[in-house]
Amino acid sequence: MFTYSLISGILFGLFFGFMALGLNLIFGVMQMVNLAHGDFVVLGGYLAVVLYSSLHLNPVVSLVVALLLFFVVGLLLFFPLIPRLSNSRDPEMLSLILFFGLSQVLEALMVIGFGDNPRSLPLSIFGNAPWHFLGQSYQIVWVITAGVSLLMIALTYLFLYYTRTGQAVRAVMGNRDEAMASGLPVKRTSAIIFSLGLALAAMSGVLSPFMIGSLDPTSGLGLTTIAFAIVVIGSLGNPLGSVLGGLVYGISLMLMQTYLSSWSVLVPYLLLLIIVLVKPSGLLGKGVRHA
C-alpha cells in the first residue's frame, strides 16, 4: 500500500506541479496572483472534452491547440487590463480583486456555454493496459500525464535558462526596477509571461480530466487554491519549486487517501496554512518575500 501511494503520489505530484507552473510564472514576474488560474485550467479541460467529443481529437493534439489558443487569449486580456492596473495606487490588492472578477466572469460563461453538469474524458483513451511497477499496477493515463507534465516543466526550464527572453524574464523576476533601468523590455516580457502562464494553465487543464476526474464550472477556485499552495510550498519564480511543491502535495494527498481517507479533502488547505505560517518563503526560498 505504501509503495502504491508513494508512486501514484509522484505521478499526481508531477501533474499538479505542472498545473501550478503558470501561476508561479505570473506571480514571479508581475507580483500578481492570478485568481482565475483554476478557471483557465477548467477551460482547458472543456476544450479537450469538446475537441474529443466533436472531432475525436486526441488530447495530445488538444495540448497544442490549447497552447496557441490561450496564448492569444492571454495577449488579448493583458493589454486592456494589466498596464492600467500597474499604474494604479495599490496594484497587488487591486489585481487580486480584478482576477477575482475575471474568475467570476469565466465561471458564469462556462455555466452559460456548457451547463452545470460535470464533464470528463474516458480514461481508456490511451488503451487499457495498466503499467506495472514494483509489483503494483497503475493507470496508463496517469503515467502518460505525468510524463507530459515533466516534459513541459523541462521545456519551461530550458526556456527560462537558455533563451534571451527567458533571461529577461528571470531578470524581471529578480528586480523589476533594475531590469527596467537596464533597458529590458519589461512590458513585453510581462505580456509574454502572462500569456504563457494562461497557456500552461490551459494545457494542464487538457490533461486534468485524467487526474482529477470530472470538471464542472465551479472547480476553478479549488484548483486555484491547490495551485497557490503548491507555489508557496515550492518557491516563487522557480520552476523546480513547482515540481517540489507538486510532489509534496501529491504524495501527502495519496498517503492521506490511503490511511485517513475521510480527512483527505483537507490536505491542500492544511498544507497551505502550515507552510504560510511556518516557512512563508517556501522550501527552496532564500530571502524574504515582499508580498
Partner 1 sequence: MLNSLASRSKQNASKRLLANSLVPLLVLAGFSLSPLVYANHTILFQMMAFMALAQGVNLLYGFTGYLPFGYVGFFGIGAYGMAMSIQLWHFPGLLAVLMGGLLSVIIAIIFSPLLRLSGAYFAISSLAASEVLSNVVSNSQLTHLTGGPYGESLTQSYHPLTSYVAMVVVLVLTTVLLIVIRNAPFGRALMAIREDPVSAAMAGIAVVRSRSVVWLLSALIAGLTGAIFGWHLSVFYPSTVFDLNISILAIVFTLFGGSGTVTGPVLGSIVLYGLYNAIGISEPQYFQLIYGLLIMALVLFLPGGVVSLIQRRGNYVP
Point out which residues bind partner 1 (CB under 8 A).
33, 81, 84-85, 88-90, 92-94, 96-98, 100-109, 111-112, 221, 224-225, 228-229, 232, 262-263, 265-266, 268-270, 272-273, 276-277, 280, 291
Distance separating alpha carbons of residues 206 and 51, to the nearest angstrom: 10
Identity (one letter) of the amino acid at 254? M
The smaller minimum CB distance to partner 1, of residues 61 and 96, is found at 96
Long-range contact list for 136-140, CB < 8 A, 24+ apart?
136/3, 136/4, 136/7, 138/7, 138/8, 138/11, 139/210
Looking only at the bridges linking them, the beta strands covering 131-133 and 136-138 are: antiparallel
Query: Residue 8 CB, nearest distance to partner 1 (Å)?
Result: 22
Q: Which residues share a beta bridge with 215?
A: 119
Question: Least distance (Å) from partner 1 to the CB of residue 207?
Answer: 24
Crossing angle between the packed helical segments 219-233 and 91-114, to the nearest 10 degrees: 140
Q: Tell me how far, at minimum, the Cβ of 89 lies from partner 1, in Å.
A: 7
Least distance to partner 1, CB of residue 244, Å: 19
Nearer to partner 1, 165 or 264 (CB): 264
Residue 90 or 178 with smaller CB distance to partner 1:
90
Q: Which is nearer to partner 1, 96 or 125 (CB)?
A: 96
